[in-house]
Structure 1
Amino acid sequence: MSGLRVIKPGPLSLLQDAGRFGWQHLGVSPAGPMDPLAMAWANRLLGNPFGCPVLEIALGGVELEAENTLWVALAGADMPLDVDGEPRRNWSRFRLEAGQRLQVGFARSGQRTYLAMADGIRAEPVLGSVACQLREGLGGLGGEGAKLAEGDLLQGGAADFPRGASVPWPWQPDYKAAQLMRVLLGGDAASFAEEEARAFFEQPWQLSPQSDRMGTRLQGAPILAPQRQWSQGVVSGAIQVPPDGQPIVLMADRQTMGGYPILGWVHPLDLGRLAQCAANQVLRFTPMSLEDAQEELREFYRFFGR
């Protein structure tokens, strides 16, 4: 068994796996990674199955000490990485010797990076998952929904590799680029006035600082939503339009029911890019077909072996 001792936990570092599914009828959020693509690459670099538990590091500021020789992989936001002062590359796997310290600096672009260990980080599942959900007190290292703390021990497998490896640069997302999010129209879209739905796609939106793992809030010229008198089940990526006309995109820690009208859903893979956007970043949205989204998701899951 390999281990990383937590010296500095950072502002918000959470254990996540593919998510907690099968409990939404009881109001339990699925949680899981905010950026599934970055998480999938971190696991792939170590030969882990899709959805193996990883550490989701928000913003950075983490320091970990290896208790024995082990391999780690990191993928996601552009955070400076070094081992005992020697720089390491992001989107890569590398070896840590016993006693060496891995420092993860604060993000220069993007918001979250993912640290994987061989065979996944060990923790006892709660309702079938180790995904940490702070609001509901589920998952994490101790099973009670707590974020990483100083002194915690991250345990993983002891696999060995002949050399390091990196994700080819064309496959690494550019979090600094202007972000265009693709949308699948549906839900209550037909009930929106044509000019209101068109306004959503024609104008730029700013990412509100009041965004978190539960939902991403957009700021712009308000759009008028139709009235709806009932609540219904919701999924990640749903674009809700509340009475103030400022849309909310539901994210990993979303609620399971909602009463606001839904204009559509952000493409599941674009949600990861959305989760990497900083406050006040300008965003635009464009419609896409269900068939194109399904084909892209099939390709994604085939590649990562889900």
Structure 2
Amino acid sequence: MIVIEKVGPVATVQDLGRPGWFHSGVGPAGAADRGALRLANRLVGNPEGFAGIEVLLGGLVLRARDTAVVAVTGAPAPATVDNTPVGHASLLVLEPGQRLRLGFTTTGLRSYIGVRGGVDVAPVLGSRSYDTLSGIGPPPLREGGFIHTGPQPRDWPAADQAPRADPPEILDIRALPGPRDDWFADPGALFAGSWAVGSDTDRVGARLDRADGPPLRRISSAELATEGMALGSIQVPPSGQPVVFLADHPVTGGYPVIAVVADADIDRMAQARPGQRLKFRRIAPTR
């Protein structure tokens, strides 16, 4: 058992989501940076889909009641165990009474804590993820609460640390044009110049501001009939400020989708802080 002594802006339980419920109006949710959660689980010897903790910006303090094996990945929040600095993306053993403290990260948005055995909460529709849009799943962590872990996996971790690459100054985000790029006077404007992540960004989506380059102009101010929305859809409202849909995106929408971010680049979009510059790079569909 682990005691939650302090919570920063927000911390939630996340696994790899609950696919297969679009017909009921429920999106998959899950970790915004799926690769970071997978890495945290691998470091502690869990299967990749076990539930962990997603921490926005940092500020979380945990105290072990029993011996716990943990790892912190994703955004590199400075971490200490009983005030001793510890490495990022490394295997950490907390003895009873020891505290893991996360400071506030200066790059990236979301850190992930993997706990050997996984976070043990009741699944909802097959997942332990909290969906901020619908409120489905375990509630966000609260000070004074507890984290219970599941049975210990048989396998022990094969590595005790993973390498980390610093993010580039300008993100290169691949995107597939369509399906509604014909609603724009010049759909190629999305791929010209650069964009900046705006202050209006959360697990639902990241709104972008034009940093340089031509604006996106729609041919008509009419609205589409409601249609399904995929993870990574770049939806453009009449303002011309595109929104990239992330983990808790709505399952339907009425604004045209000019392009869809490649699945492999979703995790990097989820870590982009307000002010982060990015460029979209056009890709062709794969067969």
TM-score by length of 2: 0.92
Match of 1:270 among 265, 268, 276: 265
TM-score by length of 1: 0.86
Match of 1:241 among 230, 236, 240: 236
SS of residue paired to 1:149: coil
1:225 touches 1:261 (CA, 8 Å); kept in 2?
Answer: no
1:36 touches 1:269 (CA, 8 Å); kept in 2?
Answer: no
Q: Structure 2 vs 1, CA of residues 175 and 268 (structure 1 numbering), >3 Å: closer, same or farther?
A: same
C-alpha deviations, 1:183-231, integer Å up to 9, x for none? 11221124433xx222111121111101111111011153112445311
C-alpha deviations, 1:222-280, integer Å up to 9, x for none? 31124453111011100111111111111111110011111111112211111111111
Match of 2:74 among 63, 73, 76: 76
Choose 78-87 or 174-183, whichever is displaced more. 174-183
C-alpha deviations, 1:73-118, integer Å up to 9, x for none? 1111011000001111111111111100000000121111110111
Q: Which residue of 1 aligns with 2:89?
A: 91
1:226 touches 1:261 (CA, 8 Å); kept in 2?
Answer: no
CA deviation after TM superposition for structure 1 residue 158, in Å: 4.2
CA deviation after TM superposition for structure 1 residue 38, in Å: 0.7
Match of 2:148 among 147, 155, 168: 155
Q: Structure 2 vs 1, CA of residues 52 and 226 (structure 1 numbering), >3 Å: closer, same or farther?
A: farther
Q: Which residue of 2 aligns with 1:174?
A: 166
Q: Within 2, Cα distance between the matches of 1:9 and 1:175? A: 26
Q: Within 2, Cα distance between the matches of 1:226 and 1:162? A: 55
What pairs with 1:1-306 in structure 2 (closer than 5 Å)? Answer: 3-140=1-138, 146-156=139-149, 157-158=151-152, 161=156, 165-167=160-162, 169=163, 172-175=164-167, 177-193=169-185, 196-220=186-210, 222-227=215-220, 228-291=223-286
CA deviation after TM superposition for structure 1 residue 29, in Å: 2.2
Q: Give me the identity figure in percent.
A: 38
Q: Aligned residue pairs: how many?
A: 280
SS of residue paired to 1:122: coil
Whichever residue aligns with residue 30 of structure 2, its letter is G
CA deviation after TM superposition for structure 1 residue 290, in Å: 2.9
SS of residue paired to 2:142: coil
Q: RMSD of the alignment, in Å? A: 1.8
Choose 172-181 or 78-87, whichever is displaced more. 172-181
Structure showing the higher helix proportion among its residues: 1
Stretches of structure 1 that go unaligned for 5 or more consecutive residues are 141-145, 295-306
Q: Within 1, Cα distance between the matches of 2:173 and 2:34? A: 15
Choose 129-138 or 50-59, whichever is displaced more. 129-138
1:95 touches 1:164 (CA, 8 Å); kept in 2?
Answer: no
Q: Within 2, Cα distance between the matches of 1:244 and 1:180? A: 24
